Structure 1
Amino acid sequence: MTSRKFMLYNSEDDLVDLNNHEIFALNPTGLGVSFSNSFSNVSANFLQEKSVLNTASLKLDIIFSRNSTTPYEKYEEFVKFLNKPPFKLIYEISGKTFQRDCVLSELSKGEIVTNVLSESLTLDFTTPFYKEISETYKPNSDTEGDGKIYAGTNKPRNLIANPNFLNNMQDWSNMSDPDGTYQLQAPATDKPTSNILKLTSSNNKLSSFLNAWGLKVKKGERISFRVDIKTENNPDYGRPVIRVGYGTGEKNYKYSDFGITASSSGFKTAAISFVVPEDGVFSLKLINQNLSTLGAMSTYFREPMLIRGDAFDMPVDFYSGKPINNYYVYPFVYESDYNGKSGVFQIENNSVYIGSAKGSPVEITVHGPCTNPYWEILDGSKVLQSDGYNIDVPDGYKLVVSSVVQKQRVKLIAPDGTISDIYQQQDLSKSNFVTIPEGRVTLAFHSVGDVSFKYREEYITV
């Protein structure tokens, strides 16, 4: 038999457990979903014109029974609890917990029968069922060059040999089609130590460079990497630009698959993270894939970095800054894009809307000091939504932006708790008040210090 529990919180976080021998809920109805649909008639068929999610109510039979008090006294205590609306219902079923905001619709009152008071309770829901998922980001300070170093027993490490294409392409192998060409170019001013690799091809040809430095990876480990990319004569970003090998398998990544975390000197900093599907040796191939017979196209690469690699055959002393067993190990590591590093979050939103909504609300808190913070929702390199504020957030202050319907707000909160409404300082070039779409997307923060956010994974029925 499937177990289920109901609990109820009021606005002051008082709790009533509706599963004990003094107050017990049974016979729930209204946990499903209904729509109102309108149609137009076309011959013997019907075209759906509109579908509207109907309001939902939970109806429960509530048993108030004698224990140390009479059923009437327990009823009176429950009424006092209800005097502090609105409410939050906690629903536990089959080991899963959901919550749903609600208000009181009806509570009946009758007579005691054999020491039991049996009444009906109706709650009107104001939200879907939801789980709140929270994340945080705290920047790490630079320790050397462009890099960032992390403490702990499982230190991330930059394991790609020669990412700046120095020393005559040491550690990189030219895997080009004979018709493909490559050229090593001087660094741009924003990264004066980073040479640029230009790959060019035409007529359905492919040119590429492979780095197979022998990193052994295990199934289930996470690999993350980043690279600066720009293209020439390539309006179609559906072409492969990175090929990852692991064991016997490989996978292509298109330009549009990447989360774009920065832009400089015409380059886009692209990042990807994935879980290794099988044991094997990891390799990375940079690709210029021309899928057209019209003219030549080029892709430029700069600083291809493995920014997280769970290697299990590395020496313990890997921060020496010297080549060790054909690995060049840096005295710093680049801050990973994955799991919140660099202010970039990969989000898997498993909400269930059945067509009734297109995104989950999110509340974002940006802690000062920072200036003109903004954030974006991306699908690969495509910006789906964005929000930002033309404001200085001083040290000790925090900017709180919520797209939750019942408490949509933009507040600047001072250290003493004083709240200022700064909605009028929204950046009008942005789409404003972002929501998290269903599926896998990237949430990227820019010009921020510490950030925390929580979004609702929502379900109109569970």
Structure 2
Amino acid sequence: MSMLQLTNARGETVDLNSEKLFANTPTGLGVQFTNTYSQYETYFKTTKSTVAQGQFQIYILFGDVESQAYQTFSDFAQFLAYQPLTLTYTTDSGTWYRDGRLNSLTKTEIGGSTVFATDRINESFTLEFINNWYNNKTAEYKSYDPDPNLGTYGKIYGNQIADTSTQINSQGQQNQLVNTEFSPDFSGWNIGVPNTSGKFSQTTPLSSDTSWLLSSEKFGGSNVILKTYGSGTSSINSGLIPIGGNVLSIVAIEAYSSSNYNGTVTASLRFYYYDSNQNYISYAAKDNAKIFSWTRPIFSATSPSNAAYVVVSFVTNGSVGTSSYSQPMLVFDTTVGDYVQGLEYNHMATPAYTYAYAPYYVYIEANRNTNEQSLPLLNKSQYFGLQKGSPCIITIGGSPTDTLSPSWSVIQNGSIVATDGVLVSISENQKLVVSSYPEDQYARVYNPDGSYADVSQLQDFTKTNFVQIPEGESTVLFYVDNQATVNLTFKEERLLV
């Protein structure tokens, strides 16, 4: 490879040190700063420093013989028409790239050069740089089967949930229920009808009631709770959920329910309301008798003006039969969008984190936080103090169960320095691509045929968005489905090479 090459926007490359294009006397490969100072006596304090836009200039002899000079010049002119252009600079210190646009290309006649007389066209070529010298660095997350002993012997940091706003669906709704996959021990749920004569009281944990079983059946990617009974009434409820004190609140529930009964059975969804002292007020119900296939009942009700808490309950009442429920969802709205996991204790990876103390690195236990993917990075960029990070392109591929509202954080020295997220659902054959390159910023969802939809308007604007990778060591944590693929490419940049 020669020292200088040019590549256009179509991917075509020309060698500037070939027989037909002989380049000489290059200038403008360095850097120039403009510094402003504040003077105090004989001292000067820097108040501002900016870097000047670089210009690369070189003289080119066109054609290896006189008769080919004009055609070679014409071919080079057509090559320059597809911009931007990328200059490849190779020395014994490595290969670096820099993008630019054409500033000027002179045109004289054979023997008419102002530099020296020749039998070929000798012209001045000037390229204006639009970014720094760079090399693209790529990191890709690859899943693995974790050592089962990690859960017992691994080093663990105490994490605290700092922000649950990432756990929302495409309509911006947060699921208020806990453990919506009913696994592995039904933590957060209770058995029995809520107290309607006094204060709400916790009842027997569901796991101790052997008549409740975790079905092997799957629906929508979620486990199913299955109830088999002979007669009587049974209920499973989620416990107290705050609904905003003495304020009228609209609540709706989404659940998948199925019943296949031999006798007379009523399956219903209920809201039990309590005041600020957890005293019972009233309840609202939607009854569904003899449901023989999976349905999606939507139940909306307005809470009493003095209600401070609500208990969500699935109730079955009958003689003989079974009842199944899956993917419950509770939102503060009159409509319900697509299902999203609630605040499960076993899905702690979805929200953002703060750490109990500031570790100098991030340690991930794969078999505990299965939805958290970690990419350690080393950025050797040098910005002379003028820039704090390098732009990047992030690609997230979908998973068999869809990837909901992916988000990510950049952590350095125990602190979150940048965050981003997009409120979309990515199917298995789609991919989300987010570019923070200043000259081409976007967020897109690509389809298998190459078409895409711009989803920049669906970025989570509570975050910094379009993250940059800081100089030095850092870790990027992705909060995505554990079967999703993650790829990150950032520019390792230099002002001077």
TM value normalised by structure 2: 0.54
Q: Give the alignment partner of residue 355 of structure 1, picking from 353, 366, 385.
A: 385
Could you tell me the percent identity over the aligned residues?
31
C-alpha separation between the residues in 2 aligned to 1:161 and 1:413?
Answer: 37
Deviation per CA, 1:358-410: give whole Å up to 9, x if none.
10000001111300111111114321111111211122111110100111111
2:393 aligned with 1:393, yes or no? no
Of 65, 89, 92, the residue aligned with 1:91 is 89
Q: 1:453 aligns with which of 472, 488, 496?
A: 488
Match status 1:443 vs 2:443: no
Change (3 A) 1:191 1:256: farther
> Would you say 1:370 and 2:400 are equivalent positions?
no
1:391–1:425 Cα contact (<8 Å) kept: yes
Give the 3 Å change call, closer, same or farther, for CA 94–164 of structure 1 in structure 2. closer
- State whether structure 2 residue 196 is matched by structure 1 residue 163: no
SS of the residue aligned with 1:405? coil
C-alpha spacing 1:335/1:73, structure 2 compared with 1 (3 Å): farther
Alpha-carbon distance in 1 for matches of 2:372, 2:430: 21
Supply the AA of the counterpart residue of 2:46. Answer: Q
Deviation at 1:42, TM superposition (A): 2.2
Whether 1:115 and 2:115 are equivalent positions in the alignment is no
Counterpart check, 1:127 vs 2:131: yes
CA distance in 2 between counterparts of 1:350 and 1:435 reads: 13
| 1:116–1:158 distance in 2 versus 1, CA, 3 Å | farther
Q: Which residues of 2 match residues 299-448 of structure 1 at below 5 A? A: 343-368=373-398, 369-448=402-481
Using the TM superposition, give the Cα deviation of residue 419 of structure 1 relative to its aligned residue in structure 2, in angstroms.
2.0
When residues 112 and 48 of structure 1 are mapped into structure 2, their CA distance, relative to the original with a 3 A threshold, is: same
**Superposition RMSD in Å:** 3.1
Cα gap change, 1:366 to 1:74, in 2 (>3 Å) = same
Shift of 1:116: 2.2
Segments of 5+ residues of structure 1 without an aligned counterpart are 141-147, 150-156, 166-188, 193-227, 229-234, 238-254, 262-268, 270-333
Counterpart of 2:383, as a letter, is: Y
Measure the CA separation in 1 of the matches of 2:456 and 2:136: 24
Alignment of 1:223-262 (within 5 A): 237=357, 256-259=359-362, 261=364
SS in 2 for 1:352: coil
**Shift in alpha-carbon separation, 1:122–1:258, aligned structure 2, 3 A:** same
CA distance in 2, matches of 1:164, 1:62: 62
Does the Cα contact within 8 Å between 1:375 and 1:444 map onto a contact in 2?
yes
State the partner residue of 1:294: none
Q: Secondary structure at the match of 1:111?
A: coil
CA distance 1:51–1:164, change in 2 (3 Å): closer
> In structure 1, what residue type is equivalent to 2:437?
V
User: C-alpha offsets along residues 5-54 of structure 1, whole Å, 9 cap, x if unaligned?
Assistant: 11101111111111111101121111111111112222332222111111
Q: SS of the residue aligned with 2:3? A: strand
1:134, CA displacement in angstroms? Answer: 1.4
Residues in 2 aligned to 1:388 and 1:108: alpha-carbon distance in whole angstroms: 48
Q: Deviations over 1:398-432 (max 9, x none)?
A: 11101001111111122233322211211123221
Residues 19 and 342 (structure 1 numbering): CA distance in 2 closer, same or farther, change over 3 Å? farther
Name the TM-score, length of structure 1 as normaliser.
0.58
Q: What 5-or-longer segments of structure 2 have no aligned partner?
A: 112-117, 156-181, 186-347, 349-354
Aligned length: 292
Conserved? CA contact 1:139–1:342, under 8 Å: no
Displacement of 1:260 after TM fit? 5.2
Q: Distance in 1 between matches of 2:491 and 2:15?
A: 24
How much has 1:447 moved relative to structure 2? Answer: 1.4
SS state at 2:391 partner: strand
Query: 2: CA distance between counterparts of 1:134 and 1:162?
Result: 33
Q: What whole-Å deviation, never above 9, does each CA across 1:119-163 have from its counterpart, x for those lacking one?
A: 1110000010100011222435xxxxxxx26xxxxxxx6788972
1:51 & 1:336 partners in 2: Cα distance?
47
Q: Which residue of 2 aligns with 1:136?
A: 140
